[in-house]
């Protein structure tokens, strides 16, 4: 499966704005996530694949699940299926079996939930594949590549929660929300990252949910300090460097810079044209010539057959184009 993500706002600081996940359930009710990720769905790429060795015979359920994104927009994707079946035998494998929207639960859940499993307060995800750990203090963590860990803290109302990563070689990313969430790309989830700097979050509720992951190609160990402060720290965290970020943060692409320059130039031209008083029209050879007619006006635009003239409010004069007919005899003056 492959798709194009929506335009990324750098202020979001998320790997993906729209996270589509490829999930396969085999005849034995075993669940496979995209790119053979053992810890859960892959939240960091727009191309996923699943390979099944010694695939059992039977019916398979292929699911495309999406994160909650904050805009009304359809995301198109491409899907290719290849395996030990005759893809030209349309009688056994009819092409009429099209993709359809379903609220049914295809996972191995017994809670009667629709779409996804209903998780308790200590689990989250499509099939509750993530544990949500209560933390307050120091924890030692080992992050695998593309592994996301979920946490929950219970501060007092109007307190400050901070996270401090002690491994300066680890780029620890965090996402935080006042509600439990399944995917770090979900709307309402705020993401950022740290390289050993103290981070503060203001909470007006009794619960705050975190997700942490490390940008790494191999397992990495780090110590994370979770704490609660009644007053904010006086230290100001440094602006995160975009070096280790999945997306470029704080950088302006050449295309965006060029677009900004063009917009500024166009704005300057418009302002100059608005401030410039139109010169009086002079007689011209041909079928058109100009006349100056004193007209009281409220400053509205005067429209002629082939142009629009902006009326000068002061001294209440408007230059109007006068047009001669084909016989060059009758002249019409347009006025309000």
Domains observed in the chain:
130-229 (2.60.120.680), 288-333 (no CATH)
Count CB atoms within 10 A of the CB of residue 19. 25
For the four alpha carbons of 139, 142, 145 and 151, in that order, the dihedral sign comes to: negative
CA distance 122 to 180: 10
- Give 45's pLDDT tier (boundaries 50, 70, 90): very high
Q: Please, are residues 27 and 58 in contact by the beta-carbon 8 Å criterion?
A: yes
Residue 275 φ then ψ, to 5°: -80, -25
Contact 307, 321 (CB under 8 A): yes
The pLDDT value given to residue 105 = 64
Q: Are 8 and 15 in contact (CB under 8 A)?
A: no
pTM to 2 decimal places: 0.62
Looking at residues 304-329, what average pLDDT do you find?
36
pLDDT digits (tens, 9 = 90+) for 92-131: 777 666 676 666 666 767 565 666 788 888 999 888 889 9
Q: In the Cβ-directed half-sphere of 183, how many Cα atoms lie within 13 Å?
A: 22
What mean pLDDT is predicted for residues 253-270? 70
Continuous segment of H or E residues that includes residue 200: strand 199-203
Q: Across 4-13, 41-50, 71-80, which has the greatest mean pLDDT? A: 41-50
Query: For residue 260, with 0-12 CB atoms within 10 Å meaning exposed, 13-18 middle and 19 or more buried, which class applies?
Result: exposed
**Is 315's pLDDT higher than 60?**
no
Confidence (pLDDT) at 115 = 67
For the chain, give the mean pLDDT.
70
Distances (CA, A) of 263 to 60, 130, 203, 313: 52, 46, 39, 28
Cβ atoms 334, 320 nearer than 8 A: yes
- CB-hemisphere CA count at 13 Å for 294? 1
Number of Cβ within 10 Å of residue 264's Cβ equals 10
Q: Which secondary-structure segment (H or E) carries 256?
A: helix 254-275
Highest mean pLDDT: which of 4-13, 240-249, 287-296? Answer: 4-13
Residue 56 has pLDDT above 60, yes or no: yes
Contact present, 216 and 173 (Cβ < 8 Å) = no
| Residue reference for tokens 């110590």 | 223
Q: Is 272:281 a contact under the CB 8 Å cutoff?
A: no
Question: pLDDT tens across 147-199, in order?
Answer: 999 998 876 655 666 777 777 677 788 888 888 999 999 988 888 876 555 45
Q: What is the pLDDT of residue 128?
A: 87
**pLDDT score, position 250:** 33
As a whole number, mean pLDDT of residues 224-229 equals: 73
pLDDT band (50, 70, 90) for residue 83: confident
Tokens read off for 299: 């400053």
Please tell me the predicted confidence (pLDDT) of residue 202: 55
Cα gap 195→234, rounded to integer Å: 18
Express as a percent the part of the chain with pLDDT over 90: 12
Which positions ≥6 away from 167 have C-beta within 8 Å?
A: 196, 220, 221, 222, 223
Both tokens of residue 89? Answer: 């035998």
Q: How confident is the model at residue 262 (pLDDT cuts 50, 70, 90)?
A: confident
What average pLDDT does the segment 71-79 reach? 84
Most confident of 41-55, 108-122, 128-142, 308-322: 41-55
Q: What percent of the chain has pLDDT over 70?
A: 58
State yes or no: pLDDT of 258 exceeds 90: no
Higher pLDDT, 149 or 293: 149
Which of 60, 65, 79 is CA-nearest to residue 18?
65
- Sort strands 130-134 and 149-153 into parallel, antiparallel or unpaired: parallel
DSSP state of 241: P
| pLDDT in the model for residue 132 | 94
């Amino acid at each position: 499966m492959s798709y194009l993500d929506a335009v990324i706002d750098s202020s979001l600081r998320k790997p993906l704005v729209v996270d589509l996940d490829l999930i396969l359930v085999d005849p034995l009710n075993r669940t496979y996530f995209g790119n053979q990720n053992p810890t859960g769905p892959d939240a960091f790429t727009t191309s996923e694949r699943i390979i099944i060795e010694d695939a059992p015979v039977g019916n398979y359920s292929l699911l495309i699940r999406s994160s909650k994104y904050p805009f009304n927009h359809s995301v198109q994707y491409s899907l290719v299926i290849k395996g030990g079946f005759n893809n030209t035998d349309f009688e056994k494998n009819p092409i009429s079996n099209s993709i359809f929207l379903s609220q049914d639960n295809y996972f191995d859940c017994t809670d009667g939930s629709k779409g996804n499993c209903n998780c308790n307060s200590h689990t989250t995800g499509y099939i509750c594949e993530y544990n949500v750990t209560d933390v307050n203090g120091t924890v030692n963590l080992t992050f695998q590549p593309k592994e996301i860990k979920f946490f929950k803290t219970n501060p007092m109302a109007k307190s400050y929660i901070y996270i401090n990563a002690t491994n300066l070689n680890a780029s620890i990313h965090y996402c935080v929300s006042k509600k439990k969430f399944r995917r770090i790309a979900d709307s309402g989830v705020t993401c950022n990252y740290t390289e050993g700097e103290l981070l503060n979050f203001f909470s007006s509720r009794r619960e705050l949910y975190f997700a942490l992951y490390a940008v790494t190609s191999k397992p990495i160990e780090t110590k994370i300090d979770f704490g609660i402060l009644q007053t904010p720290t006086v230290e100001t965290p440094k602006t995160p460097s975009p070096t280790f970020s999945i997306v470029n943060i704080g950088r302006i692409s050449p295309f965006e810079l060029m677009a900004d320059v063009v917009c500024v130039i166009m704005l300057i031209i418009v302002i100059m044209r608005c401030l410039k008083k139109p010169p009086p029209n002079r007689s011209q050879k041909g079928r058109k010539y100009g006349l100056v007619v004193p007209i009281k006006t409220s400053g509205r635009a005067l429209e002629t057959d082939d142009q629009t003239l902006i009326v000068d409010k002061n001294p209440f004069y408007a230059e109007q184009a006068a047009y001669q007919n084909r016989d060059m005899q009758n002249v019409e003056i347009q006025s309000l």
